[in-house]
């Protein structure tokens, strides 16, 4: 954690975003950044689609767009080590399975927060995204990319 804080204070972008690392805090920081970009794609897609189709279907479609963006950027920035599976197709399948669980959580949370709690759908989506981001990071880290966990800080 100290290393991450030092890098943020110094605005040292190379080790924050590019240099390979085993530091779990830096990886989570990167995942939040990548997740933020994927969330913007997801959120904007939802914002557009909710005007044309049922909001829960719009949530699912938007989530898929965000998932693809998240996978591509995570491979480049966060989970640069090899996955426990050899083929990128298998890796993406595992990524999607974790994402589908995240989608289920997202749908449930958006439904509860929108229909029961009566929050605006975009606020419900934001709250759900924060919770699901944490699930996705740890599930992917420990289920897909755990083969290089030795020595992680």
Structure tokens at 35: 């997740």
- Per-residue pLDDT at 150: 46
Q: What is the pLDDT along the chain (153 residues), one digit of tens a residue?
A: 888 888 888 887 888 888 888 888 888 988 999 989 998 999 999 999 999 999 999 999 998 999 999 999 988 888 887 788 888 888 889 989 999 999 899 999 999 999 999 999 999 999 998 999 899 989 988 888 876 544 444
Confidence at residue 12, expressed as pLDDT on a 0 to 100 scale: 79
pTM above 0.85, yes or no: no
Contact 23, 152 (CB under 8 A): yes
pLDDT of residue 3: 82
Q: Where are the domains of the chain?
A: 2-9+23-148
* pLDDT at res. 86: 81
pLDDT (0 to 100) of residue 97: 94
Proportion of the chain in helix, strand, coil states, percent, rounded to 5: 80, 0, 20
């Amino acid at each position: 954690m100290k290393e991450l804080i030092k890098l943020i204070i110094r605005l040292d972008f190379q080790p924050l975003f590019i240099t390979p690392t085993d530091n779990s805090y830096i990886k989570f920081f990167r995942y939040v950044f990548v997740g933020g970009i994927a969330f913007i794609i997801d959120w904007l897609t939802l914002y557009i689609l909710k005007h044309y189709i049922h909001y829960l279907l719009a949530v699912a479609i938007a989530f898929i767009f965000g998932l693809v963006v998240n996978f591509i950027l995570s491979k480049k920035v966060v989970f640069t080590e090899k996955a426990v599976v050899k083929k990128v197709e298998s890796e993406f399948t595992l990524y999607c399975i974790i994402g589908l669980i995240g989608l289920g959580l997202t749908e449930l949370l958006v439904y509860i927060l929108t229909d029961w709690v009566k929050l605006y759908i975009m606020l419900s989506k934001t709250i759900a995204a924060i919770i699901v981001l944490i699930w996705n990071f740890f599930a992917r880290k420990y289920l897909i990319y755990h083969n290089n966990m030795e020595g992680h800080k």
